[in-house]
Structure 1
């Protein structure tokens, strides 16, 4: 398994080519223009609040998919690899307009102190969900737009104050979303099961999974075996092959597409792993299906 993190665009580290406000580790990205469909992959180094003002932005990670349209937002926690698809719609002249707010743990800690909020309960976190953007948040975003024209003229502390203002606006507008944001600050180590299940069908290496879970590679392997009673690489390969068999049996997807859809990076490796497990090449399984066996 190759390293998907090395290949993914790292955000906000790779923001230099877009309109942005960035100072002392705080980042806000703004993008507006005419856009046909664009796809890509990002590794999130910080927590991200994605707000879509016009157009469509689709986010996928693991088996989860979130589709955002005009005046919708979603919060994504750091340390994950996402695939995205974004485009402007025909009825809005293909305009795509969105903002990404990158929120560090230190900022969330400061917000909790000055707002006197209780520490959220990490046992029952609110699920990730798409939320509507209300008028107050739209007004806040409109107030940010002028700063993108001359970001070098903005005082350092102003960006920090604007980020804190965002959190206060969310506190008044959507407590469920705020709870989700603050709960993630409490999660120092992500559970082995959560990381593996979310990234099972992505072409991630064991080093990637260890990093995403906040563990060293040796600790990840040791704890994985305690949970699954099987070596990590063997368990992951078998799960991917089982999913591939399901797709070959019940869908018309070509073998190459099945290979990439189940986390394998090349067809040759996929075919060898398949034959070792099932005793026949994947093409023979497909032929048996069409023959009615």
Structure 2
């Protein structure tokens, strides 16, 4: 089963009865676990860092020109502000069972953990981001996952303080079981180097990345990103990005038969009604009228 629409996670996650179970902290999903015999594929935009555990089955993720497959009793850490294509399937010989856990870790949670545990990345930051790699799930972390199971059988919402405690317990367990991965995780709170604004923006022009996300990816504060962006393009980033997305939508309307809703998402907009309103403000036409006008000239 394929889902063509990009899902923003964790804020866009919904629980599917019978397969997915969710724990929330202050209304935001921080843990999703799924047990299913059905495979699926799709795209998601990571709004928080993702720590993915696979207990059975295969979970393939692609971003940029990279691809990794997380298999039984393996885990991987993916940083926030990335578009990830995924393909997940059950494991042969085990009734095609797929069982995975997704922990969404915010920068605020990592900051709190670093403060109370007196831990953090070394004084010398790495010259480039640590490579994303598959790691084995230790026995300690396996026992931790088992300890969470009872919370999903609760008939009422779990107290926020208890959910946060379990997340901090995960980080303590990770620090003890895999110091390299923990150091990598803590480094994600701060970009490790400045990257080309042009490269970052071009790569993410049709993704749901916010200005704060783009600033993070470029290794700058939001104010520095806006200042440096203006120095390059002589235009505020929001205005420039919106123009590029409108241009992309014009191109798709003129040269494809895609429905307007699909063009909205393909051009980087998230709401069809908002897209139509912005498009008309810029061109004087609704998307449908613009397509008809182009076709009448051919």
TM category, shorter: 0.5 to 0.7
| Structure 2 match to 1:135 | 139
**TM-score with structure 2 length normalisation?**
0.65
| Structure 2 match to 1:247 | none
More helix by share: 1
Greater RCO (CA < 8 Å, at least 6 residues apart):
1
| Equivalent pair of 2:125/2:192 in contact (CA under 8 Å) | no
SS of residue paired to 2:12: coil
Deviation at 1:192, TM superposition (A): 2.7
Separation in 1, partners of 2:12, 2:206: 22
| Structure 2 match to 1:90 | 92
Q: Structure 1 residues 154 and 194, CA, compared in 2 at 3 Å: closer, same or farther? A: farther
For each residue in 1:186-206, what CA deviation from the matched residue of structure 2 results, as whole angstroms up to 9, or x when unmatched? Answer: 229862379649x84x8x439
Deviation at 1:34, TM superposition (A): 0.8
| Aligned alpha-carbon RMSD (Å) | 3.2
Question: Which runs of 5 or more structure 1 residues have no equivalent in the other structure?
Answer: 1-5, 226-230, 233-264, 267-293
| Structure 1 match to 2:159 | 155
Separation in 1, partners of 2:51, 2:87: 16
Q: Structure 1 residues 98 and 50, CA, compared in 2 at 3 Å: closer, same or farther? A: same
Separation in 2, partners of 1:161, 1:143: 12
Q: Structure 1 residues 205 and 114, CA, compared in 2 at 3 Å: closer, same or farther? A: same
Deviation at 1:110, TM superposition (A): 1.1
1:1-293 matches, within 5 Å, as 7-17=5-15, 18-24=20-26, 25=28, 27-36=30-39, 38-120=40-122, 121-124=124-127, 125-150=129-154, 152-187=156-191, 191-192=195-196, 196=200, 200=203, 204-205=205-206, 208=209, 212-214=213-215, 219-220=228-229, 222-223=231-232
Q: Structure 1 residues 84 and 195, CA, compared in 2 at 3 Å: closer, same or farther? A: farther
| Equivalent pair of 2:56/2:98 in contact (CA under 8 Å) | yes
Separation in 2, partners of 1:45, 1:186: 15
Question: Which runs of 5 or more structure 2 residues have no equivalent in the other structure?
Answer: 216-221, 235-239, 242-265, 268-298
For each residue in 1:227-254, what CA deviation from the matched residue of structure 2 results, as whole angstroms up to 9, or x when unmatched? Answer: xxxx99xxxxxxxxxxxxxxxxxxxxxx
Deviates more, 1:100-109 or 1:185-194: 185-194
Separation in 2, partners of 1:132, 1:186: 25
